[in-house]
Amino acid sequence: MSIPLYVPNGDPVKFVINYEDGGNPTKKAALEALWKKFNYPDPSTGQTFNIWYRASSRNKEVQVDRLMPQSAPAGKYRIEIFIPGKHATTKRAVFTVAHNFRLEGGKPAYDDTVTIVNMYDLFDTWYNLGEFELNPAQERMSGRVRQYDMSLEDPATEICFGPVRWVPLNPPKVRFDSPVGAPEEREGPFLARPSQWVGQWFDSNPFLNLYFLGYHTGADLNLSLSSDADRGAPVYAVADGVVIFAGQGSGKWGKIAVIEHHEALVALPNGQSRYQPVYSRYSHLTDDIRIQKGQTVKRGDLVGFIGLAVGVTSGWHLHFDISHSDRLKTNPSHWPNLTRFNELRAEKKTDTKEYRNVCAVILKEVVTHYVDPLKFLKDNH
Ligand SMILES: [Zn+2]
């Protein structure tokens, strides 16, 4: 699933309340005074929303419009409303969705698709109002969700005005290439054998391999012609992005570069996939780094050259990893803490329960921040 666009209640630009007050300030004030609010968590995401509610009415007195952000790209969206497990007892909440803006006989026209929602029977759920082709940049009202307080129920019930989200169904695809290889090789296809990337490039230390530095966070890319064949080989940006860091890393990293990319398909450890920002890291580079912090780069731009991994036995190689958290943004040299891991190995206590527990903690930290880079590149190629 891709990242939905939320409009929080109360946003003065995108959460617009209209009162049927006939221009009477006293009546408008009375309608305004009937709002009640509470905070409520969405159990599926953990997000907490400020939710508004009021008594239903026999006449249309209040209508609330939610507008999409105008920066949202044109495309197909599924529109969903959140219905909390309290203060939503109406069986007749009325929603309309504005879409299909067009000219008819030279005059502007659009469709307003109506949905009647039985909130009484729904708890803590996102209710689907349908899928629509929308373009808010071209037409401000495209994707507008309007809701009324009128339900004609007697006695009155409670209608909640919870958050609305627009879930993009065809997010723009950003292409990712291999960070090494000749131009036609970097474009792929990636080779079938698990450790082999493109051309003669292979990964000598695959993702999650347990070795003397813990679980590997990425790939160690080498050229198989000879042990030093990759010395000084060029390293390229895997996709369009912005440079977060370029310079000396801490510890034994040598020179590293981190690039932030906007939208990519990430397979999460829990088995779900979603579009989100990611960070690519290029490590053990030579001093000759060709990109700078803050710079915008294109896929295939030269980042630098493969250097020697100081103190790392595998010698010349590119350490390359992909992070799906923001850890590399705050700490470009991030690596799980190996203090206890190293102590237990020095004491030759690797067959102990404590060692297994320490390994499990390191493994969890790695999968919390990194994904298998080869699978990621294949998914986003
Ligand atoms: Zn490595």
- Facing residues of 305 across strands? 234
82 and 206 fall within a common domain: no
User: For the domain that residue 159 is a member of, what is the CATH number?
Assistant: 2.60.120
Q: Give the distance (Å) from ligand 1 centre to CA of residue 318.
A: 7
196 and 299 fall within a common domain: yes
Q: Give the distance (Å) from ligand 1 centre to CA of residue 209.
A: 10
Q: Give the distance (Å) from ligand 1 centre to CA of residue 204.
A: 9
Q: Give the distance (Å) from ligand 1 centre to CA of residue 264.
A: 23
Q: For the range 264-272, what are the long-range contacts, defined as Cβ-Cβ under 8 Å and sequence gap of 24 or more? A: 264/174, 264/176, 264/239, 264/376, 264/380, 265/379, 265/380, 266/324, 266/371, 266/376, 267/371, 267/372, 267/375, 267/376, 267/379, 268/324, 269/367, 269/368, 272/1
Asked if 344 and 352 count as a contact pair (C-beta separation under 8 A), the reply is yes
User: For the domain that residue 249 is a member of, what is the CATH number?
Assistant: 2.70.70.10
Q: Is residue 241 part of a domain?
A: yes
Q: Is residue 173 part of a domain?
A: no
Predicted local confidence at residue 1, as pLDDT: 45
Q: Give the distance (Å) from ligand 1 centre to CA of residue 313.
A: 11
29 and 159 fall within a common domain: yes
Please determine, for residue 251, whether its predicted confidence score (pLDDT) is greater than 80: yes
Q: Give the distance (Å) from ligand 1 centre to CA of residue 348.
A: 24
Q: Is residue 178 part of a domain?
A: no
pLDDT band at 314 (very low <50, low <70, confident <90, very high): low
Please determine, for residue 370, whether its predicted confidence score (pLDDT) is greater than 70: yes
Q: Give the distance (Å) from ligand 1 centre to CA of residue 11.
A: 46
Q: Is residue 316 part of a domain?
A: yes
Phi then psi dihedrals of residue 335, to 5 deg: -155, 140
Please confirm whether the linkage preceding 171 is cis (ω < 30° from 0): no
What is the Cα–Cα distance from 357 to 367, expressed in whole angstroms? Answer: 16
Q: Give the distance (Å) from ligand 1 centre to CA of residue 250.
A: 15
248 and 116 fall within a common domain: no
Q: Is residue 288 part of a domain?
A: yes
Q: Is residue 138 part of a domain?
A: yes
162 and 252 fall within a common domain: no
| Residue 216, domain extent | 183-379
Q: Give the distance (Å) from ligand 1 centre to CA of residue 183.
A: 23
Q: 193-241 pLDDT, tens per residue?
A: 767 889 899 999 999 999 999 999 999 999 987 778 899 999 999 999 9
Q: Give the distance (Å) from ligand 1 centre to CA of residue 295.
A: 25
Q: Give the distance (Å) from ligand 1 centre to CA of residue 216.
A: 6
Q: Give the distance (Å) from ligand 1 centre to CA of residue 357.
A: 23
| Beta carbons within 8 Å of 144's beta carbon, 6+ residues apart | 65, 66, 67, 68, 97, 98
Q: Is residue 174 part of a domain?
A: no
pTM of the predicted protein model: 0.62
Q: Give the distance (Å) from ligand 1 centre to CA of residue 90.
A: 58
Of the candidates 118, 139, 168, which is a domain's last residue?
168
Q: Give the distance (Å) from ligand 1 centre to CA of residue 213.
A: 9
161 and 204 fall within a common domain: no
Q: 65-111 pLDDT, tens per residue?
A: 999 988 888 889 999 999 999 999 999 999 999 999 999 999 999 99
Q: For the range 184-193, what are the long-range contacts, defined as Cβ-Cβ under 8 Å and sequence gap of 24 or more? A: 186/236, 186/300, 188/377, 188/381, 189/381, 190/374, 190/377, 190/378, 190/381
139 and 164 fall within a common domain: yes
- Facing residues of 115 across strands? 95
Of the candidates 168, 203, 221, which is a domain's last residue?
168
132 and 103 fall within a common domain: yes
Predicted local confidence at residue 67, as pLDDT: 96
Please determine, for residue 310, whether its predicted confidence score (pLDDT) is greater than 70: no
63 and 207 fall within a common domain: no
Average pLDDT over all residues of the chain = 92
Of the candidates 105, 133, 168, which is a domain's last residue?
168
164 and 187 fall within a common domain: no
66 and 127 fall within a common domain: yes
Q: Give the distance (Å) from ligand 1 centre to CA of residue 201.
A: 15
Q: Is residue 177 part of a domain?
A: no
208 and 312 fall within a common domain: yes
Q: Give the distance (Å) from ligand 1 centre to CA of residue 319.
A: 4
Q: 111-120 pLDDT, tens per residue?
A: 999 999 999 9
The total number of structural domains that make up the chain: 2
What is the Cα–Cα distance from 362 to 87, expressed in whole angstroms? Answer: 44
Q: Give the distance (Å) from ligand 1 centre to CA of residue 198.
A: 18
Q: Give the distance (Å) from ligand 1 centre to CA of residue 333.
A: 12
Q: Give the distance (Å) from ligand 1 centre to CA of residue 184.
A: 25
Q: Give the distance (Å) from ligand 1 centre to CA of residue 195.
A: 13
Q: Give the distance (Å) from ligand 1 centre to CA of residue 220.
A: 5
